[in-house]
Amino acid sequence: MKRFIVFLMVCMLLLGVNQLALAEEKSVINILLLGTDDLGYEISGEEEMSRADAIYVLNLHPDTGAVKLLSVERDYLVTLPDGNGENKLATATYFGGPELCMSEVNELLNLKIDKYIQIDITRLIEAVDAIGGLEVEVFEEEVEEVNSFIDGILSYYGLKHVKAGMNLLNGPETWAFIGVRNNDIDNIESNTQRNNRQQRAVKAGLAKLAEISLDEALDVIDKVLPHVKTNITMGEIITLTQDVQANDAEKFIYKRSPITPFSRQRAGFHQVVVADNMEEEISAVHAFLFE
C-alpha cells in the first residue's frame, strides 16, 4: 500500500498556526490534513490513486501551545453530493478534491474547518530526507511487516531494515513505517495500527523541526510547497515556520475518531464505519478538540 499523510507538512506549516488570521481571537484552530498518492483529483481512471488515505484534523490551542491530532476514519460512511450517493469518506477527494472532503468532515463531526493541506507520498519522502530523517520507535510486532514493505520499494537503493526500538529512518523508510498495512486482519483494525504509527512519526517530526534552523525549515518548504494543495497563504506559512520553536512537542495528544462505539456496514462493494450514536461521537470529538 502506497499511502500517506501530511505528516511533515503538518509539522512544518502548522505548529505556529496561532499567527493565522484567527490569531486575534485566540481561539482553538483546526486544519484538515490529507494524504494521498496523487496530488490531483481529476477523474483519470485511477480512483484508488486520488482518494484520501489519511485524514486528520490538526488542532492547536494558542493559549497553551498544545498540539492535538485527530485521526478521522477514512471508511466513515458519508453521502456525497451530485448523485454520488453513499460512500467512504476517503472518496470525497476523488469526486471533489480537498474542498469536498473538508465539507464532509465538517458535516460529519459538526466542525467549522476552513483550512486544509493535501500532500502526496513523494513530497513526504523529500521532506523527511531534507531534515535528515525521523527518529521513531518501532514495536517488535511491527518489524517484520515494515521490513517487508522496505524490501518491496524497488525505486530506492541502500535502504536498511528496522529493528525493535528507536530507529533513524530516511524518507523511503519512513514511508514504509507509516504506509504498511496488515492485510491478514480486519481492515478497520489495520487502519488503527497504521494510524498509531503515523502519530508516532508526527511526534518525531515535531521534535525534529523544533531543532532545525529557520533557514533549513524554509528550504524544506521551498522544495515541497509547489507540490502541495493548500488554501493557506505563503505569508501565513512563513509566520507558521517562524513559530515552530515556540511549540512543545511533549504536549502532543492523539486520538482517533470514532472515539465512541461503532459498527461496520456495507456500502456497495465497500466496508464502512458508522458511529452507533453520532451525537455522542460528536460530543466526544468536541471534548477532545476544544477542552
pLDDT of residue 47: 41
Spatial distance between the Cα atoms of 188 and 11, rounded to a whole number of angstroms: 26
pTM to 2 decimal places: 0.80
- pLDDT for residue 62: 65
Q: Concatenate the DSSP letters of all residues of the chain into one string.
A: ------HHHHHHHHTTGGGSGGGGGT--EEEEEEEES-S--S--S-GGGGS-SEEEEEEEETTTTEEEEEEEPTTBEEEETTTTEEEEGGGHHHHHHHHHHHHHHHHHHT-----EEEEEHHHHHHHHHHTT-EEEEE-GGGHHHHHHHHHH-TTS-S-----SEEEEE-HHHHHHHHH---TTS-HHHHHHHHHHHHHHHHHHHHHHHTTS-HHHHHHHHHHHGGG-EESS-HHHHHHHHHTGGGS-GGGEEEEEE--S-EEEEEETTEEEEEESSHHHHHHHHHHHHH-
pLDDT of residue 285: 96
> Splitting the chain (291 residues) into consecutive groups of 10 residues, what average pLDDT does each group show?
41 39 53 71 44 84 76 93 88 90 96 90 84 93 94 90 97 92 74 86 80 78 78 74 57 89 84 94 95 83
Domains and CATH numbers, the chain: 7-290 (3.40.630.190)
Closest alpha carbon to 13 in 122, 124, 110:
124
How many angstroms separate the CA atoms of 16 and 273, rounded?
33
